[in-house]
Amino acid sequence: MDDPKKRDVRDRSKINMHQGIEVKSWAKKLGVSKQELQKAVDKVGNSAASVRKELATTEVPDEQRNDCRRSPPED
């Protein structure tokens, strides 16, 4: 688990859903809500690469998207 008091290199390949600041940062970075991020982590685990892949393939209805919308997939 990341220690917020330490300023060393953190494992950025994992998403720590127990650290509020990380959850907020990852949700903003990925353009999803905290709930959407949690669902993706629950489904595929905490690997950032796996979560990105899952979110890229998951279609989210417009009314459930937050203001930081992901770009639609290109055909």
Q: What confidence score (pLDDT) does residue 64 get? A: 55
Residue 61 — very low, low, confident or very high, per pLDDT cuts 50/70/90? Answer: low
Per residue in 21-60, pLDDT (tens digit) is 999 999 999 999 999 999 999 999 999 999 999 999 865 5
Query: CA of 52: how far to CAs of 4, 7, 26, 35, 47, in Å?
Result: 24, 25, 10, 15, 9
Q: What confidence score (pLDDT) does residue 12 get? A: 82
- Cα-Cα end-to-end distance for the chain: 39
Residue 72 has pLDDT above 60, yes or no: no
